[in-house]
Amino acid sequence: MLAKLFVTILNFSPAIKRATWKWWYQRLAHRGRETDWSFMNYGFKPSNGTPELELSSKDEQDRLFIQLYHYAASQVPIKGANVLEVGSGRGGGASFVARYYKPEKMTGLDYSPSAIELSSDLHKDVNNLSFVQGDAESLPFEDYTFDVVLNVESSHCYGNMDAFVNEVARVLKPQGYFCWVDLRQKGLLDTTEKALYHPDLKLIQEETITEQVLHALDKIHVRKVEMIQKHVPGFLQTAFQDFAGVKDSKIYNAFKDGDALYLAKAFQKV
């Protein structure tokens, strides 16, 4: 029954969707203390011929996850900027951006207090990085605060996508950038497009990256299964496997069959 949650949750009411995801991410954050994972995304494997991203030896094990952040962050100028990631999870992506892209300040925001506590502990040695608890639909920041807002594989959890996009536009400085990557069921594409349309945000780049995400899921399959078998109780393993997108899970098959897509977009505030 739990496995069905992750293919039906997008159709829940906003309040139920938000509460369900908060419960689930709190559980993931608690389990995260027992693993070496600081990423929660599905990963990204670039097309053949793309120059390989240079990573330190300590980051190499997380290459596929990092490459999704690299893809998103590389669309806009970040060096020296004030950057916010909404939905920072365990903080691995925010840490990568802070260390490799050299923003003046990197802030990770997440709805889960446990995730914020975990992230702050895991990445305490990154000087230009901090984490705060908050709601994506009511960001705890003043207007015109950030040069860049990143949102990586998080917005499918939100109860009100329109409210989130309005908040992004509010906290961005004029000429600031919004980078968004996430999965959507095919039947929800029109709703998502309408939510992402905002009169203050001009689309500057878009791509469907389902193929690159599927290739990453294939490559990381064994590691995910081994981690779940080692750290997750048996009665929860099917749900964790589906959430993680392992081969033959409902989410993996939805990507493969074309019932779900992985989208990438970048906007500039006008």
Note the pLDDT tens digit of each residue in 190-221.
Answer: 999 999 999 999 999 999 999 999 999 999 99
Length of the chain: 270
Quick check: helix, strand or coil at residue 138? Answer: strand
Q: How many helices (H) and strands (E) does the chain have?
A: 10, 7
Q: pLDDT tens for residues 127-163?
A: 999 999 999 999 999 999 999 999 999 999 898 999 9
Interstrand relation of 105-110 and 82-86 (parallel, antiparallel or unpaired): parallel
Measure the CA–CA gap between 164 and 24, rounded to whole angstroms: 20
Which residues have a Cβ under 8 Å from the Cβ of 269 and sit 6 or more positions away? 169, 172, 173, 174, 175, 176, 177, 178, 200, 201, 202
What phi and psi values does residue 124 have, to the nearest 5 degrees? -65, -15
> 48-107: per-residue pLDDT in tens?
889 999 999 999 999 999 999 999 999 999 999 999 999 999 999 999 999 999 999 999
- pLDDT score, position 29: 56
Q: According to the model, what pLDDT value does residue 238 have?
A: 83
SS3 label, residue 15:
helix
Q: What pLDDT, on the 0 to 100 scale, is given for residue 253?
A: 95
What is the pTM (predicted TM-score) of this model?
0.88
| pLDDT score, position 223 | 86
Distance CA 63, CA 77 (A): 22
The domains found in the chain, sorted by start residue, are 2-269 (3.40.50.150)
Show Cβ contacts of residue 121 under 8 Å, excluding neighbours closer than 6 positions: none
Q: Is it the case that residue 120 has pLDDT exceeding 90?
A: yes
CA angle, residues 53, 41, 192, in degrees to nearest 5: 110
Can you give the pLDDT at residue 2? 33
Q: DSSP assignment, residue 90? A: T
Q: What pLDDT does residue 232 have?
A: 78
Model confidence pLDDT, tens digit, residues 165-189: 999 999 999 999 999 999 999 999 9
Whole-angstrom distance, CA of residue 162 vs CA of residue 198: 9
For 42, list phi and psi in degrees, rounded to 5. -85, -10
